[in-house]
Amino acid sequence: MKIAHILPHSVRFPLLAHNGRYDWVLQLARLQAKNGHDVTIYCHPDSELDNIMTCGIPHASGNKDSNNIGTLRMAVRHNHDIYHSHFDNLHYTLSEHELSQPVLFTQHWWPTKTTLALAKKNLHKNIWAVPPTRYMYEFDKESHVKSKGFIHHGIDLGKFTLKPVQQSHRLLFVGRISPEKNLEVALSIAEKTGLGLDIIGKITEKNKDYWRSLQHRIDGIHTRYLGTKTHDELASHYSAATALLFPSDIHEAFGLTAIEAQACGTPVIMRRGGSRAELLEEKVTGFLFDTEDELIDAVQQAATIDGADCVRFSKKFDIQTMANAYDSLYEQLRADYIS
C-alpha cells in the first residue's frame, strides 16, 4: 500500500528536539515501512530518513500557512492509496476536485472550534477523523465529525520497561509547562505531602510569564526543574518516581506520559474527567481524583500499587497493536472508496 503522511512544512527529520506528535508519526511510518508498505512523509524538503522517502515543496515562502497548504497539495497530487494528515483541520481546505483517495487525520489535539465548524460543513465524502480515545470518538459523533471509530495511541514498550530502580520517594510531573497543565497543583501536593517533586517539560516563549510566577516555589532541592529529557532518560525518572501526577483539567486528546509511566511500573494519579479513565485502571494502576484531599490521599496510597499491574495494563497500548489497527482502517477506507 502506498501511504502518505503529511506534516507541516517546518518539520525536518531527523528531529533536532523531541516532539511528541512528530516522533509518533515517525514511529508509525517506520513500522509501516517495515511491514512492506511504500511510505512517504511530506514535510521539510531537507529531511533525510533511512528506508522512508521524504518530500517537500522546494520553494517555500515566509508564510507558514502558505507553506503548509503547499505541502498538503503536493501530497494529494501524487498517487497514494491513503493520505494520512497530521494537521488539525487544513485538509478541509482542499476542494472536491483536489481529493483523489481517502484522507484520514489523527486527532493529536482536542478539536478546536474552527475544526468543528469546518468538519460540520465538510462536503467531502472521504475525509475521516481518527480519535485516540473512546471519549473523543463519542464527542466527534455528537459534533458531526466523521469517524469510523477510535484507535488508542501506542508506545514502543521496549523503551519503557519495568526496571529494578529503587524508588526516590519523589513525585514526577512530565508535560508542557503551561497554565492548562496545572503544574501549580503538583507543587502544592509536594508541599503538603512532604514528598519531593521533579518537573520535566518544555517551556515555550508564550508560557515564560507563567513559569516565572512559579519560580519562588521551585527551590532546586525539594522541587526541581530538570528540563527536557530523552526517552531513555524519561524511563529512568518514571521508574524511580513514587507516582506520576497528571493534574490537567482540560480536554486532552490522550496522555502518552500516563502510559509511559505505567510501562515502567509507576502508578499514575490523574484528575477525573474526559478520556482519563481510559488511561489507567482505577485503584489497580493508579487513581483518579476530583478534590485536593482525594489527590493527597491518592499520593499516600501510591505505594500500594503493584508495578507489575501497571506494566500489564500498558501492554494494551503497544505501538504494533496501534499500527495494525491503522492498517485495518486504511484497508476499510480503500474498500469503501473503491466500492
Residues 172, 169: Cα–Cα separation, whole Å: 10
Say which amino acid occupies 52.
Answer: I
Q: Where are the alpha helices (DSSP H) in the chain?
A: 20-34, 64-77, 113-120, 134-142, 183-193, 208-214, 231-240, 256-263, 292-301, 307-314, 319-338
pLDDT tens, residue by residue, 11-32: 999 988 778 889 999 999 999 9
pLDDT band of residue 123 (cuts 50, 70, 90) is low
Residues 148, 14: Cα–Cα separation, whole Å: 32
More confident residue, 104 or 164: 104
Of 284, 258, 260, nearest to 271 by C-alpha is 258
pLDDT tens, residue by residue, 212-237: 999 999 999 999 999 998 888 999 99
Distances (CA, A) of 191 to 154, 188, 229, 237, 251: 34, 5, 24, 20, 27
pLDDT value at position 338? 65
Residues 36, 133: Cα–Cα separation, whole Å: 28
Per-residue cell: 334: 480503500
Q: Which domains does the chain have, with CATH numbers?
A: 2-154+318-338 (3.40.50.2000), 158-317 (3.40.50.2000)
